[in-house]
Amino acid sequence: MRILSGIQPSGTLHLGNYFGMMKPAIELQERGEAFYFIADLHALTTVRDPKALAANCHDVALDFLACGLDPKKSCFFRQSEVPGIADLAWILSALTPMGLLERCHSYKDKTTRGLTPTHGLFAYPVLMAADILIYESDLVPVGRDQKQHLEVTRDLVGKFNDAYGDILKMPEAHIQESTAVVPGLDGAKMSKSYHNTIGIFEEEKSLRKKIMGIKTDSTPVEEPKPTQGSTILDLYRLVAPPEEVARMEADFQNGGVGYGDFKKRLFEATLAHFAPFRARRAELAANDSTVLDILEAGARRAGDLAAKTLDKVRRAVGLR
Ligand code: TYM
């Protein structure tokens, strides 16, 4: 089984990225042949500062490796270092109906938020389909916000194969229900565009400030508190051991503990959860060449595979 996923280097990685995609992807590297990449071509749709883009790519590489991506088990690379992705995206574009892309929420969300409606932003799902299809991926671990893009990819496989024969492999999304939409500090989906994120490697001081600032209702300390829709509890479930989660749930239900205490527990559990990753990240950061070597070797391996698929596709459409 081949597993593939990508992450954009468009800002600091957060708990949504980690629990929604990185953790499931890291677990899946035990179950098949994994290909994980830094989607720098996609990030060009929003990042216009070349220095920031380069720095973000490096940070994403460090973050993903520190969180447990094992380069011995997974092929890890930068999207732009594999030739052929843009070629396949163009070939797919030629048979992508406008209506399919017009229906995509992510384009609508981004333009509603004020991003310039560029062709890159609009055609984003086609480039993503090319990523998935060029490596003949079976399974694509993603958060719920990418579900529609996987549906577009599957549609394009159907259209391509109908037109040219059984060439492209049909992929499937792998969405873990419990972490499909990780909430941010305000309870909405955690996203850098909503300014509600907790960074995986958030500094201790800033982490405390963010968590202590989570808005709560005005239930008095001694009263029971609603567990449904509590951001504190939802985040705590992700980072705390099960027995501590059960204790917090009981304290919510029984009353007698204030929100301040719950937030302190959440802060401490978050810090403890990511402490081993922090240590590993510091080690990796001290040796930059290791990271570059990993990405270079990854790009070579991914490139061999991509070239094979692209060759099949080019022959099928009549470009050979
Ligand atoms: P990106 O960079 O926006 O996000 C990376 C991954 O993190 C997941 N995610 C979340 N999951 C749960 N809750 C959240 N609050 C949350 N926030 C982010 C996203 O669902 C995603 O899986 N288009 C992709 C990158 C990409 C890609 C691909 C992915 C490019 N090509 C091919 C898979 C296959 C993106 O923008 O992800």
Domain extents for the chain? 2-181+288-317, 202-273
**Could you tell me how far CA 230 lies from the centroid of its own chain?**
24
Beta strands in 124-282 (DSSP E): 139-141, 172-174
Q: 202-273: same fold as 2-181+288-317?
A: no
Q: How far is CA 249 from CA 185, 210, 226, 233, in A?
A: 19, 22, 10, 8
* Token code pair at residue 5: 């996923």
Q: Which amino acid is at 249?
A: E
Check if CATH label 1.10.240.10 holds for domain 202-273: yes
Active-site position among 72, 73, 159, 189 = 189
Backbone φ and ψ for 242, nearest 5 degrees, come out as -55, -40
Regarding beta strands 2-7 and 33-38, do their DSSP bridges make them parallel or antiparallel, or are they unpaired?
parallel
What's the 145 CA to ligand 1 centre distance in angstroms?
Answer: 7
Task: For residue range 89-112, list pLDDT tens digits in order.
Answer: 999 999 999 999 999 999 998 999
Q: How many C-beta atoms lie closer than 10 Å to residue 230's C-beta?
A: 22
DSSP state of 4: E
Nearest to 119 by CA among 82, 159, 90: 90
The CA-CA-CA angle for residues 100, 53, 211, to 5°, reads: 85
* Calpha distance 160→132 (Å, rounded): 14
DSSP state of 143: -
Q: Which of 145, 157, 238 to mutate to test the pocket of ligand 1 (most atoms within 8 A of CB)?
A: 145
Task: For residue range 278-292, list pLDDT tens digits in order.
Answer: 999 999 999 888 999
- 227 confidence band (pLDDT: 50, 70, 90): very high
Task: For residue range 182-217, list pLDDT tens digits in order.
Answer: 999 999 999 998 999 999 999 999 999 999 999 999
What's the 230 CA to ligand 1 centre distance in angstroms?
Answer: 24
Query: Considering all CA atoms of the chain, what is the largest pairwise distance in Å, rounded to the nearest integer?
Result: 75
Q: Which amino acid is at 20?
A: G
Q: Which amino acid is at 133?
A: L
Using an 8 Å Cβ cutoff, are 1 and 31 in contact? yes
**Known catalytic membership, residue 264:** no
Nearest CA to ligand 1 atom 19: 143
What's the 242 CA to ligand 1 centre distance in angstroms?
Answer: 27
**Known catalytic membership, residue 110:** yes
Q: Which of 12, 18, 21 to mutate to test the pocket of ligand 1 (most atoms within 8 A of CB)?
A: 21
Active-site position among 192, 210, 225, 263 = 192
pLDDT in the model for residue 75: 98
What is the 3-class SS of 205-242, one letter each residue?
HHHHHHHHCCCCCCCCCCCCCCCCCCHHHHHHHHHCCH
pLDDT in the model for residue 68: 97
| Closest atom of ligand 1 relative to the 189 alpha carbon | 15
* Calpha distance 299→301 (Å, rounded): 6
What's the 50 CA to ligand 1 centre distance in angstroms?
Answer: 22
Placement of tokens 């399974």 in the chain = 139
Task: For residue range 7-65, list pLDDT tens digits in order.
Answer: 999 999 999 999 999 999 999 999 999 999 999 999 999 999 999 999 999 999 999 99
Nearest CA to ligand 1 atom 14: 16
Active-site position among 110, 210, 225, 263 = 110
What's the 274 CA to ligand 1 centre distance in angstroms?
Answer: 20
pLDDT in the model for residue 288: 82
Give the residue-averaged pLDDT of 64-75.
Answer: 98
Q: How many C-beta atoms lie closer than 10 Å to residue 236's C-beta?
A: 20
* Token code pair at residue 27: 């677990």
pLDDT in the model for residue 23: 98
* Calpha distance 302→296 (Å, rounded): 10
* Token code pair at residue 228: 């449904």
- Residues touching ligand 1 (Cβ under 6 Å) are 4-8, 16-17, 20-21, 39, 42, 128, 131-132, 140, 142-143, 145-146, 179-182, 189-191
Nearest to 230 by CA among 208, 259, 257, 202: 259
pLDDT in the model for residue 320: 81
**Known catalytic membership, residue 189:** yes
Using an 8 Å Cβ cutoff, are 32 and 1 in contact? yes
Domain made up of 2-181+288-317: CATH architecture: 3-Layer(aba) Sandwich (3.40)
What's the 127 CA to ligand 1 centre distance in angstroms?
Answer: 14
Task: For residue range 111-161, list pLDDT tens digits in order.
Answer: 998 889 999 999 999 999 999 999 999 999 999 999 999 999 999 999 999
* Token code pair at residue 6: 């990508």
pLDDT in the model for residue 67: 98
Task: For residue range 230-284, list pLDDT tens digits in order.
Answer: 999 999 999 999 999 999 999 999 999 999 999 999 999 999 999 999 999 999 9
